[in-house]
Amino acid sequence: MYDVDAIRKDFPILALKINGCPNTFLDSAASAQKPKVVIDKMNEMYLHEYSNVHRGSYLLSEEITSAFEEARNTVQKFLNAKSSSEIVFTRSATESINLVAASWGRKFLKSGDEVLISEAEHHANLVTWQVLRDEIGFKLNICRVNDDGSFDMEDFSRKLTPNTKLVAITGMSNVLGTIFPLQEIIPLAHAKGAKVLVDACQLAVHQSLDVQALDCDFLAFSGHKTYGPTGIGVLYGKYELLDAMPPYQCGGDMVDVVTYEHTTFDPPPARFEAGTPAIVEAIGLAEALKYMMSLGLDNITSHENELTAYTIAKLSSIDGLRQIGTAKGKGGVFSFVVDGIHPQDLAFILDKEGVAIRVGHHCAAPLVQRMGYSSVARASLGLYTTKEDIDILVRAINKAKTFF
């Protein structure tokens, strides 16, 4: 039994009153709230177990190094990676994608090559490739989504060519909620000889991931969206790919032999973790992933699926509300506009009712434009969201309508 009321008690911030109203937090897609176990774990590390990692000559450092490496093992388990050496800790999904671009991209992409992304990419997985394209001169192709936000498989197949060296694609759109058919996309890409980078920032929050079953080459996600702390992200990469890649940044903790003339680098993942890492954050992230696994990813998914259907039905009942992104099987991200109310005005009024939503272009400006808008409102679910939250949202939207 998935007892969402009990689960909510694990998240102290949800009990907060906002403007005198219950905290109806519907912006988990931007960043999720943290369960107390994560906060406690991080406090505990700072209070009793803190020192630098990989400096091994004393007890505290040995202990925290093993907790840090254990965190890597937890991420490995969360993703079902073959080895923990395939798990690189970064600052965020954004940095993970930038790492692939700067290290793998600069080494393996040439002018004449093609990189294929979708219309639904977050700026992190769009701008990064535009900038590298302008540097290297490869071609950046963009495959379409349909008007309902679903993935256009035909267009993808058409734009996937023998010159495509990389498909960099989101697993789930942070605007449309569409879950992309990775199980079909990845084999097609591989058949053309392309590598696949999955931006799993949203997907990792809502579904169990298995990088071996998916057979993706790289996968990125951010800790703060998976109920962990900010400042920590993950890059998964197949070992042989990571091993062929040059360092991304240089400094301490990533070198093998250093002389004044020359340096040889550590093998992955250390090669990509120059400098003192976000130690406590990595351990906090592992705690968050353990929390999700203890609830059961499949249980989280089914709770959210039920809530998604409920939300779609409830939003559909509001006169003048248009949902943007209605693809079958979509996840718990709901973009919408209400006739006659600017999303910004809507957010002001919802805020007064204790309802947190996000408005704007959601760091996917060309996508919002492609769907026909310059700004949309977005409500998004987390594992702690209830039908009550959705009822409050709907009431608040209906109240907002009386103002205009």
Partner 1 sequence: MTIEELIENFAFLDSWEDKYRYIIDLGEKMPSLSADKKTDEWLVKGCQSQVWLIPCKSNDIISFQGDSDAMIVKGLIAIVLLIYNNKSPSEIKAVAVDDIFAKLGLKEHLSPSRRNGLEAMIAKIRHYADIL
Strands (DSSP E) along 175-254, which ranges? 195-199, 218-222, 233-237
Nearest CA to 96 among 192, 184, 204, 181? Answer: 204
Q: Which does 199 bind (CB under 5 to 8 A by kind): ligand PLP, partner 1, none?
A: ligand PLP
Cα(387)–Cα(310) distance, integer angstroms:
7
Q: Which two tokens stand for residue 113?
A: 């090559």
Q: Which does 33 bind (CB under 5 to 8 A by kind): ligand PLP, partner 1, none?
A: none
Q: Amino acid letter at 272?
A: F
Q: Which two tokens stand for residue 165?
A: 């060296």
Q: Is 122 in the site for ligand PLP (CB under 6 A)?
A: yes
Closer residue to ligand PLP, CB minimum distance, 92 or 335: 92
Q: Which does 170 bind (CB under 5 to 8 A by kind): partner 1, ligand PLP, none?
A: ligand PLP
Among 185, 347, 350, 396, binds partner 1 (CB under 8 A): 347
Residue 61, classed as helix, strand or coil, is helix
- The stretch among 10-18, 107-115, 197-205, 352-360 that binds ligand PLP (CB under 6 A) is 197-205
Q: Is 163 in the site for partner 1 (CB under 8 A)?
A: no
Q: Which does 375 bind (CB under 5 to 8 A by kind): partner 1, ligand PLP, none?
A: partner 1
Q: Is 222 in the site for ligand PLP (CB under 6 A)?
A: yes
Q: What is the dihedral of CA 18, 19, 24, 28, to 10 degrees?
A: -60
Q: Is 212 in the site for partner 1 (CB under 8 A)?
A: no
Among 85, 188, 345, 370, binds partner 1 (CB under 8 A): 345
To 5 degrees, how large is the angle CA 139–CA 99–CA 54?
A: 165
Q: Is 28 in the site for ligand PLP (CB under 6 A)?
A: no
Binding track over 82-121 against ligand PLP, x by CB under 6 A: ----------xxx---------------------------
Q: Is 383 in the site for partner 1 (CB under 8 A)?
A: no
Q: Is 350 in the site for partner 1 (CB under 8 A)?
A: no
Among 201, 214, 292, 368, binds ligand PLP (CB under 6 A): 201
Give the number of other Cβ atoms within 10 Å of residue 361's Cβ: 16
Q: Which does 92 bind (CB under 5 to 8 A by kind): partner 1, ligand PLP, none?
A: ligand PLP
Among 73, 360, 370, 398, binds partner 1 (CB under 8 A): 360
Cα(225)–Cα(171) distance, integer angstroms:
14
Among 192, 352, 370, 398, binds partner 1 (CB under 8 A): 352
Residue 30, classed as helix, strand or coil, is coil
3-state secondary structure 119-172: CCCCHHHCHHHHHHHHHHCCEEEEECECCCCCECHHHHHHHCCCCEEEEEEECE
Q: Which two tokens stand for residue 152?
A: 């256009």
Cβ-based neighbours of 319, under 8 Å, separated by 6 or more: 401
Least distance (Å) from partner 1 to the CB of residue 394?
18
Cα(97)–Cα(125) distance, integer angstroms:
7
Among 137, 348, 369, 388, binds partner 1 (CB under 8 A): 348
Q: Is 201 a catalytic residue?
A: no
Q: Which does 366 bind (CB under 5 to 8 A by kind): partner 1, ligand PLP, none?
A: none
Kindly determine how many residues on this chain lie close enough to bind partner 1 according to the rule CB under 8 A: 15
Cα(219)–Cα(196) distance, integer angstroms:
8
Among 10, 119, 199, 287, binds ligand PLP (CB under 6 A): 199
Binding track over 18-37 against partner 1, x by CB under 8 A: -x------------------
Q: Which does 347 bind (CB under 5 to 8 A by kind): partner 1, ligand PLP, none?
A: partner 1
Q: Is 170 in the site for ligand PLP (CB under 6 A)?
A: yes
Closer residue to ligand PLP, CB minimum distance, 24 or 92: 92
Do residues 223 and 192 make contact, with C-beta atoms less than 8 angstroms apart?
A: no
Bridge partners of 87, per DSSP, are: 236
Cβ-based neighbours of 312, under 8 Å, separated by 6 or more: 323, 326, 334
Cα(210)–Cα(123) distance, integer angstroms:
25
| Bond into 162 cis (ω within 30) | no
Burial 137-154 (b: 16+ CB within 10 A, else e): ebeebbbbbeeebbbbbe
Would you please indicate which residues are annotated as catalytic (active-site) residues? 363
Binding residues (CB under 8 A) for partner 1: these are 19, 342-345, 347-349, 352, 359-360, 374-375, 403-404
Binding residues (CB under 6 A) for ligand PLP: these are 92-94, 122, 124-125, 170, 174, 199, 201-202, 222, 363
